[in-house]
Amino acid sequence: MIPQKLAEGIYEVGAIDWNVRDFHGYSTDLGTTYNAYLIVDEKIALIDTVKKEFTGRLLEKISRIVDPSKIDVVISNHTEMDHSGGLPAIMEVVGREKPVYCSKMGRKNLRRHFPDWLNLQEVADGQELSLGKRTLQFLETRMIHWPDSMFSYLKEDQILFSSDGFGQHYAGPERFDDEIDDAVMWHAKKYFANILWLYAPLIQKLLEKVLAMDLPIKMICPDHGIIWRRDPGKIINAYVQWCKQQPEESALVVYDTMWHSTESMAEAIVAGLWEAGVKAQPMHARNVHRSDIVTAAFDAKALVIGSPTLNNGIFPTLADVLTYLKGLRPKNKLGAAFGSYGWGGEAPKAVHEILSDMDLEMVEEPLRIQFVPDQEALDACRDFGRRIGQIIKKDK
């Protein structure tokens, strides 16, 4: 419960949630953090709060630095409840009359969430707020990842408080990028793939706008996960690349199986992809969480989905994954479907249609094998994988 000092008069005062394991369908196997930041100047500012259940921890950390009632202003960069849930209770301590600065959409959202006594003050893109020796500049960043989102930039210290941008769902002993090294990048990519992928075109434009401002940035302080102090440019450059949605020369084979027939097909297809010189990975949809499948799908050039037919339709786990993936609107990918069946064999056709509706380029007709695949059928599966691999190689 000790505040983390970031610079003279600047502290991280949020909470670590070690036990959360699901975040809106996203697996958080290592928990997460709800970061909040305190700036002590002639005016004292609190940037964001925490999930409601962790309000006491936030107040305890603040109290180690200053009396919370001495806080002059609160900044709400994002109104989602993991960052604003504690706001009413905080303002009861800080003072009901004290201003809460937020974007135009933030003001609208907070009015719908919380009591009308909150003193909400709308700020415009580029507007500045003097704290005395320091100045906060507000940058509207709609759809990173809600319409209300904004960044707050501390000009004199060159610190960017980036709300849900550049974050990760990661709770650990490390608080900075130089303490965890490259291991954090996987968590950052998973966060981007599952939460921000849908908004990649918009984020790309926003990043271009922010980069064009040529703001010197010494530190990036997101609302989840570690703080980027050694090399903030690393995560900025990663976002620039991820927004381009340029997949690797690889394939992801996602499947489920009832009596191992579709599983045998998947393994043969993976073997064919490898024979074509393409890195391929099988993922059993019942054994791998949907959010980890999506993280792998983000990098893959081809998504090859295999489902047995159950009740004339797609196996439930595959329907779950496809619904989740469709909402993220993947771009620049190839698609194919396969599966075993007993009599009707509708599932591969249904998968094919869903992938096609996602605007994936369908490179093969659905491959269907009745009952247990024999050697001839497995050879056909390898050929299926090999052909997809050859298209991937040609398409690079």
| Angstrom distance (rounded) from CA 142 to CA 272 | 43
The beta strand positions in 184-249, using DSSP E, are 219-222
Residue whose pair of structure tokens reads 């953090």 in the numeric block = 33
User: Any catalytic annotation for residue 191?
Assistant: yes
User: Any catalytic annotation for residue 78?
Assistant: yes
Structure tokens that stand for 317 in this block: 């786990």
Structure tokens that stand for 247 in this block: 């997949």
Asked whether 47 and 161 are in contact (CB, 8 A), the reply is: yes
Name every residue whose Cβ is closer than 8 Å to that of residue 3 and which is 6 or more positions away in sequence: 11, 12, 13, 38, 61, 62, 64, 65
Q: Which of 17, 26, 41, 78 is catalytic?
A: 78
User: Any catalytic annotation for residue 255?
Assistant: no
Q: Which of 17, 41, 48, 164 is catalytic?
A: 164
User: Any catalytic annotation for residue 169?
Assistant: no
Q: Which of 145, 169, 187, 352 is catalytic?
A: 145
Pairing of strands 361-362, 313-314: unpaired
How many residues comprise the chain? 396
Q: Which of 26, 37, 170, 191 is catalytic?
A: 191
Q: Which of 83, 224, 239, 256 is catalytic?
A: 224
| Angstrom distance (rounded) from CA 217 to CA 332 | 32
Closest CA to 12 of 62, 56, 51: 62
Q: Which of 41, 48, 80, 267 is catalytic?
A: 80
User: Any catalytic annotation for residue 224?
Assistant: yes
| Angstrom distance (rounded) from CA 314 to CA 296 | 21
| Angstrom distance (rounded) from CA 383 to CA 333 | 20
User: Any catalytic annotation for residue 284?
Assistant: no
The three-class DSSP label of residue 45 is strand
Q: Which of 41, 82, 256, 364 is catalytic?
A: 82
Q: Write out the catalytic residue numbers.
A: 24, 78, 80, 82, 145, 164, 191, 224
